[in-house]
Amino acid sequence: MLISMRKTATTEDIVRVVGALEDRGIPSQVVHEANRVVVVLHKRRPEDVSGLRLLPAVDSVIEVDHRFQLASIQSRRERTVIRIGDVEIGGETATVIAGPCSVESREQLLAAARGVRNAGANLLRGGAYKPRTSPYEFQGLGLKGLQLLAEARQATGLPIVTEVIGTEDVDLVCEYADVLQVGARNMQNYPLLRRLAKVNKPVLLKRNPAATVEEWLLAAEYLLVGGNPNVILCERGIKGAGLETRNTFDISAVVLARQLTHLPVIADPSHAAGRRDLVPALSRAALAAGADGLLLEVHPNPQAALSDGAQSLTIPEFERLMLGLAEPVRRVQRPMVRIARPTAQMVVPRRAAQVRIAGGPGRREIWHANP
Ligand code: PEP
Ligand code: MN
């Protein structure tokens, strides 16, 4: 439930509402936007809200349509933009996070980091703690991996995204990471989510392959309600027939999550496909559907990778993918539809380039109905 305040509400009015909720034993969070202030209750259907409507400057008391409240677009109409140094996630252009599945060695990580930085990636990814399906497979370098990530950040200037798999590692990973990844297997690890709600670093929350969009957004709600507003959602494929691809890229989840929430939503076509040949087309599809960015696995020598080699792009393949995304769409593929005789009422949409490459041409028009 949320209480929308009148435009004229003063700080005292807001404090009075928060106090009245506390008196009823209901914690709440205040959301400030340019055009309104909303008090979001940490309860969905409180029994006793009658008096609240009558408090000064209260405009309306609204029941949120979904079980997630703080994640809901009803609570915050302005889209959340997450800033990591001078990188934005959820801003005007798509953000690209790229790097190897696992940190394996200094040579491997630095080659990957320099390669993805030169091709225009905005953040470097790499796992030091790996949640492997088999206990016999490479589990990551742990602390050594984190130290190598810090070295790669120093060498390239790219902020670091890395996974944390257990509550006991959170403090250590926080010392090194700029963004903490919660892997698909841990999406509903509630002790971990509660702990990450208390850190002041953004969290990249992957969707579990068997989770509904609602379950995924409720997992995000744990982070938000616990006090961490910087949540990035990541769709990484769900269980499908699973014959030709590792998972099934759920593009509808990207669209739906952006519709239901104000949080940035990125896509991970690498884990969705499980094979590198599909990654460029799925990346374009994700951005065309409105994804705020991509998470891509890139390895200097995928054949020798200790994890996820089959889905990892080589550095030249990643360079080609980035150039393809930064190019105006009309120059790299056919028009999506041909309209024989557009009427005068038909507006010509203009959009920014999907990915901006540092030092590149910046904003460009990428689509015309009738070029
Ligand atoms: C990863 O990003 O390397 C990873 C383990 O992904 P997921 O949690 O989506 O399987
Ligand atoms: Mn991986």
Which of the ligands is closest to the CA of residue 239?
1
Mean pLDDT of 83-90: 97
Please check whether residue 294 is in contact with residue 271, taking contact to mean a CB–CB distance below 8 angstroms.
no
C-beta of residue 336 within 8 angstroms of C-beta of residue 369:
no
Once rounded to an integer, what is the mean pLDDT over residues 46-52? 82
Looking at the structure, tell me whether residues 59 and 101 fall in a common domain. Answer: no
Angle at 58 (CA atoms; ends 52, 59), nearest 5 degrees? 120
User: Which ligand 1 atom is nearest residue 185's CA?
Assistant: 8
pLDDT band at 34 (very low <50, low <70, confident <90, very high): confident
Of ligand 1's atoms, which has the minimum distance to the CA of residue 101? 3
The residue to mutate among 238, 268, 294, having the most atoms of ligand 1 within 8 angstroms of its beta carbon, is 268
Q: Are residues 158 and 230 in the same domain?
A: yes
The predicted-structure confidence for 165-218, as pLDDT tens digits, reads as follows: 999 999 999 999 999 999 999 999 999 999 999 999 999 999 999 999 999 999
Q: Provide, rounded to the nearest whole percent, the portion of the chain with pLDDT above 70.
A: 92
pLDDT of residue 114: 98
How many residues belong to the chain?
A: 371
The residue whose CA is least distant from atom 4 of ligand 1 is: 183
29 in a structural domain: yes
Let me know if residue 71 belongs to a domain: no
The phi, psi pair for 304, rounded to 5°, reads: -100, 5
Using one digit for the tens of pLDDT, what is the confidence trace for 306-334? 999 999 999 999 999 999 998 765 555 66
Least confident of 9-18, 337-346, 356-365: 356-365
pLDDT at 77 > cutoff 90: yes
Average pLDDT taken over every residue of the chain: 92
Provide the token pair at 162.
């890395």
Based on the fold, state whether residues 309 and 354 are members of the same structural domain: no
Residue 193 sits in the same domain as residue 259: yes
Classified as helix, coil or strand, 343 is: coil
Show Cβ contacts of residue 103 under 8 Å, excluding neighbours closer than 6 positions: 109, 126, 127, 128, 140, 141, 145, 148, 149
Q: Which amino acid is at 287?
A: L
Best mutation site among 102, 271, 279, 312 for ligand 1, i.e. most ligand atoms within 8 A of its Cβ? 271
Cα(164)–Cα(180) distance, integer angstroms: 6
Above 80 in pLDDT, residue 371?
no
Nearest residue (by CA) to ligand 1, atom 9, is 184
What would the mean pLDDT of 52-59 be, rounded to a whole number? 93
| Entry pTM | 0.92
Pocket around ligand 1: residues whose beta carbon is below 6 Å from it?
101, 127, 131, 183-185, 206, 236, 271
Q: Which atom of ligand 1 is nearest to the CA of 131?
A: 5
Give CA–CA dist 72/98, Å, rounded. Answer: 28
Q: Tell me how many domains the chain contains.
A: 3
| Spacing of C-alpha 14 from chain mean position | 31
Q: Let me know whether 44 and 137 are in one domain.
A: no
By C-alpha distance, which of 207, 253, 260 is closest to 232? 207
Q: Which domain holds residue 49?
A: 2-63
In a domain, 283, yes or no: yes
Q: For residues 300 and 312, give the distance between their C-alpha atoms in angstroms, rounded to a whole number.
A: 9
**Residue 125's pLDDT is what?**
98
CA–centroid distance, 271 to ligand 2, in Å, is 6
What is the number of other CB atoms lying within 10 angstroms of the CB of residue 323? Answer: 15
Q: Is residue 253 part of a domain?
A: yes
Q: In this structure, which ligand is nearest to the CA of 185?
A: 1
Do 117 and 176 lie in a common domain?
yes
Residues 283 and 352 occupy one common structural domain? no
Q: Provide the pLDDT confidence category of residue 349 given band limits of 50, 70 and 90.
A: low
Q: How far apart are CA 162 and CA 277, in angstroms?
A: 25
Same structural domain, 199 and 304:
yes
Residue 68 located in a structural domain:
no
pLDDT average, residue stretch 234-249: 93
35: domain CATH number? 3.30.70.1140
Task: Please report, for the chain, how many H helices and E strands are present, in that order.
Answer: 11, 14
* Atom in ligand 1 nearest the alpha carbon of residue 234: 9
Nearest in space to 69 (alpha carbons), one of 36, 35, 44: 44
- Say if residue 170 is in the same domain as residue 239: yes
**How big, in percent rounded to 5, are the helix, strand and coil portions of the chain?**
35, 20, 45
- Label residue 262 left, alpha or beta by phi (over 0 means left) and psi (-120 to 50 means alpha): alpha
List pLDDT tens digits, range 128-171: 999 999 999 999 999 999 999 999 999 999 999 999 999 999 99
368, pLDDT greater than 50? no
